[in-house]
Chain A
Amino acid sequence: MSTKVISLVSIGAHPSSGRTRRAEQDARAVELGLQLAGEHLQVVHAGDHREEALRAYLGMGLDHLDVLEQPAGADVLGVLGDYLRDAGAQLVLTGSQAETGEGSGMLPFLLAEQLGWPLIVGLAEVESIDNGTAQVLQALPRGQRRRLKVRLPLLATVDNAAPTPRQSAFGPARRGVLAAQDVAVVDDELLADAQLQPARPRPKRLKVIKAKSGADRMKAATAKASGGGGKVMKDVTAQEGADAIVKLLVEEGVLR
């Protein structure tokens, strides 16, 4: 298979100790990439090439990892987009959200927008790639999977539904090369102006189960989340569909 696969990786942080490590989801993106492309997988990080935590990705069996040199707080969107275009990427894999830094989870969306590529959220498995079209499984809540056919190039985020990353071994981690590349630095004006405050965990909604029998409780625990509203539109033109979406977004207050 000659599809060019690139995985984007970031620096992670262990949830209880806060120590830097390979990011859990990004490691899954590398794992999926290795399963698809083997040694042809290209892995890239935008940041500091001296960061030792990057070696944990090399330890998964990569002989090198490209690092686009960026200072903290830079806007990496442009350089990543240029890099992906220049490299001729066909399939780009990344975690859903970084464990350090802003961690907004916006990067895949902005990147896909900038490149004009389709984006798949929660990629679980790539079943086949033929003729510039990928057949993939997308993870939905409660273990459900949706089969999609998407034309390449495409960008996909992975979450915990993607395969578990392989162990990072010391030998390849030590031998691998962190290849720094000098690229343009764009200041992130939005971040510079913004005020950051620590995230607070959202209070959990109490689950009231009124079930009387064991069977009812089982049903309550396993039932699909059923939205009350929404409607299924079939055989409509693109214009009608788009109008319906805009109408919904206005109703929900997303668009004004």
Chain B
Amino acid sequence: MLNTLLPILLFTALALAVLGALRRVRMWRRGRPSKVNLIGGLLAMPRRYLVDLHHVVERDKYMSNTHVATAGGFVLSAALAILVHGFGLQNKILGYALLVATVIMFSGAIFVFKRRLNPPSRLSKGPWMRLPKSLLVFAASFFIATLPVAGILPANTGGWVMVAVLGLGVLWGVSELFFGMTWGGPMKHAFAGALHLAWHRRSERFGGGRSTGLKPLDLEDPKAPLGVEKPADFTWNQLLGFDACVQCGKCEAMCPAFAAGQPLNPKKLIQDMVVGLAGGTDAKFAGSPYPGKPIGEHGGHPHQPIVNGLVDAETLWSCTTCRACVEECPMMIEHVDAIVDMRRHLTLEKGATPNKGAEVLDNLIATDNPGGFNPGGRMNWAADLNLKLLSEVKSTEVLFWVGDGAFDMRNQRTLRAFVKVLKASGVDFAVLGLEERDSGDVARRLGDEATFQLLAKRNIQTLGKYAFKRIVTCDPHSFHVLKNEYGALGGEYLVQHHSTYIAELIAQNKLNLGQHKGGSVTYHDPCYLGRYNGEYEAPRDVLKALGIEVREMERSGFRSRCCGGGGGAPITDIPGKQRIPDMRMDDIRSTEAEVVAVGCPQCTAMLEGVVEPRPLIKDLAELVADVLLEEPAPAAAKAPAAKREPAEVH
């Protein structure tokens, strides 16, 4: 009996799965074209899955082992079950192999089940609570059905009752795992995920690479869409990427905006995009909602505008582009790309950048800096420093990219400290002076690609006039844009963050440093230095050279929490329940450090905005400049000249 029932069930489920797959592929193809190596991607997929993706999943050992057992066991069981029970190859060895595979799968599924007993809030419930049971039933049913094949039990054991029970079990199992995979069940992640890895829009991320720069819009072609209005405006492989989401909520757990109670949840956003690409409402979403926004009131369609139907604009503007979600995502989904794509439409087509956004963009166009300051005042901070200007010297070793912090009195202290360090090291450096413009970072994150490209092209033009070996900057945002985003517009440079460069100077013994005496120190990793550019070591090396043992925060390195200052978030200023920098300051306070070392003007501004009492905020350059020893024998110069009569002051 089973010998006729099982093939029918298996092949019907497989046939329905193929139908579902075709239907799903048609949904993805509603997206815009994207240049992807289809065959090469498919060939590279197993490696991407087994190596690159596994690296991310392995950060959670429990889940990684569970997944290896369950998924590995399932793939093996499914293949063998099709051979043994589908095609009737009732071979004893195959039977034993299938038994082993189902046992592996079953033991993995037990751990999935265990985790679902008391699931953390980041996990989606709903059909996902059913999944471990389906996995167990699938594994158990095929295990029992295979016992006769392996010769352990005689055929027809249990009679009709057994046939009925096993038939139901297999029906449940294959419905969830074969048919459900392509018809929108929880197992969809396996099908879409595999293809997503094959045709990922940032293939550079695989094999240990890094790809974090935003992709440029084509502004030359007046017909090319300016960003994403409807789900169908995404490229097809972005749509595919949304479908790969497993709703594990690792992004939600890391998102600073979600934690602050702002109306953003990266997981829900991706699921809303799935709703958009398939059409429908978000009523079936079984995870945490956007804070303050009830589920079931939004819906969409591939050809309907996303904003204010499917997703509210303030959800998109809550993002700080810190990339914590992308870093955590075991499916390597690109949340930030999607958010910026939708912001581009709002800014470039609708003129709907909220709060101070429009003013900042106008300022960038009219004055090349977001504050609207007179561009002639860009070098006022260095009036007494006699810096060399590239327009005069034409060529230099190090081009010091000052950034818009030049207009900010707090950041001017950092800049002056770094100049002191550069001068002490004796390297040949120069600045662009009044020829420098905003790098375009904030304009780009606010979706104003036109202003970004305008600023970038002018900067590239300016840089093209001079000769320099490398660019060094104290601003990770400028650093990222110059290093990773100017390339697409024709500007390729060697760019370094000042922490990297100072670490290099220290390694070459070009700095005469004393020891830090200002109390215990913790270090806050800036998103655009760390997650965007992978620089975690150099700042710590610099601190080590100052005799500082960094008191690491629980969330540091690639898991560092954003200060709240990125992506134009302080400009769009979407209200939440608490402020992101306050949460970060709590992280800092828990280390009981007296000083927090930072490497970014945004982080400095955000963290200093936290009310006292709080640890001191010092840039790496300031910490280094504080302990610089004067070149010629520091001890001798001190004694005689130091005693001066106090002058009377009236």
Residues of A within 8 A of B (CB): 14, 16-17, 19, 21, 59-61, 166-172, 174-175
Contact = CB atoms under 8 A, between A and B. Distances in A.
The 10 closest A-B pairs by CB, nearest first: A169-B351, A167-B351, A167-B358, A16-B374, A14-B366, A171-B349, A170-B450, A170-B348, A17-B367, A171-B226
A59 B347 CA distance: 11
Nearest to A166: B351
A167 B353 contact: yes
A169 B362 contact: no
Contacts of A171: 226, 348-349
B475 to A, nearest CB: 22
Interface centre among A16, A19, A167, A174 (most CB of B within 10 A): A167
A168 B450 CA distance: 12
B375 A16 contact: yes
A19 B348 contact: no
Interface in B334-350: 347-350
A14 B374 CA distance: 10
Most chain A CB atoms below 10 A, which of B347, B362, B368, B373: B362
A60 B351 CA distance: 8
A19 B349 contact: no
Contact of A169 (B350, B368, B373): B350
Contact of B367 (A19, A168, A169): A19
Nearest to B358: A167
A172 B349 contact: yes
Contact of B365 (A16, A21, A60, A166): A21
Contacts of B368: 17
Contacts of A175: 222
A78 to B, nearest CB: 33
Contacts of B347: 167, 169-170
Contacts of A59: 351
A2 B533 CA distance: 58
A169 B349 contact: yes
B372 interface: yes
Interface string B24-45: 0000000000000000000000
A125 B439 CA distance: 40
B591 to A, nearest CB: 42
B448 interface: yes
B89 interface: no
Contact of B366 (A21, A170, A172, A174): A21
Given A17-B366, A170-B448, A175-B222, A61 B372 contact: no
A58 B489 CA distance: 27
A237 to B, nearest CB: 52
Contacts of B353: 167
A103 to B, nearest CB: 18
B352 interface: yes
Contacts of A172: 349, 351
A167 B372 CA distance: 16
A245 B264 CA distance: 64
Contacts of B451: 170
Contacts of A16: 367, 372-375
A17 B348 contact: no
A124 B348 CA distance: 29
A125 to B, nearest CB: 22
Q: DSSP majority for the A interface?
A: loop
Interface centre among B351, B373, B448, B450 (most CB of A within 10 A): B351
B380 to A, nearest CB: 13
A167 B366 contact: no
A21 to B, nearest CB: 5
A59 B448 CA distance: 13
Contact of B374 (A17, A60, A166, A169): A17
8 contacts: A16-B367, A17-B366, A17-B374, A19-B365, A19-B366, A168-B351, A169-B350, A170-B451
A14 B359 CA distance: 13
A193 to B, nearest CB: 34
B375 A17 contact: yes
A59 B373 CA distance: 24
A170 B373 contact: no
Contacts of A17: 366-368, 374-375
A16 B365 CA distance: 12
Given A17-B375, A21-B362, A171-B349, 12 more contacts: A14-B372, A16-B372, A16-B373, A19-B366, A60-B351, A167-B357, A167-B358, A167-B361, A168-B351, A170-B347, A170-B448, A170-B449
B568 to A, nearest CB: 14
Interface string B255-299: 000000000000000000000000000000000000000000000
Contacts of B365: 19, 21
B352 A167 contact: yes
B367 A14 contact: yes
Most buried by B among A17, A19, A61, A170: A170
A169 B367 CA distance: 18
Nearest to A168: B351
Interface string B366-382: 11100011110000000
A177 to B, nearest CB: 13
A171 B226 CA distance: 7
Nearest to B359: A167
Given A14-B367, A16-B367, A174-B222, A169 B348 contact: yes
Nearest to B357: A167
B222 A61 contact: no
A175 to B, nearest CB: 7
A170 B374 contact: no
A166 to B, nearest CB: 6
Interface in B216-230: 222, 226
A170 B358 contact: no
A61 B366 contact: no
A170 B367 contact: no
Interface in B408-443: none
A5 B349 CA distance: 25
A247 B158 CA distance: 120
Nearest to A59: B351
B442 to A, nearest CB: 15
Given A14-B366, A167-B358, A171-B226, A61 B351 contact: yes
Contacts of A19: 365-367
Nearest to B217: A170
A42 to B, nearest CB: 20
Contacts of B448: 170
A242 B89 CA distance: 113
Interface in B303-360: 347-353, 357-358
B336 to A, nearest CB: 21
A167 B357 CA distance: 9
A174 to B, nearest CB: 7
B437 to A, nearest CB: 11
A169 B357 CA distance: 12
B372 A170 contact: no
Interface in B536-586: none
A21 B373 CA distance: 16
A19 B375 CA distance: 11
B490 to A, nearest CB: 21
A56 to B, nearest CB: 9
A164 to B, nearest CB: 9
A194 to B, nearest CB: 30
Contacts of A174: 222
A78 B473 CA distance: 56
Contacts of A14: 366-367, 372
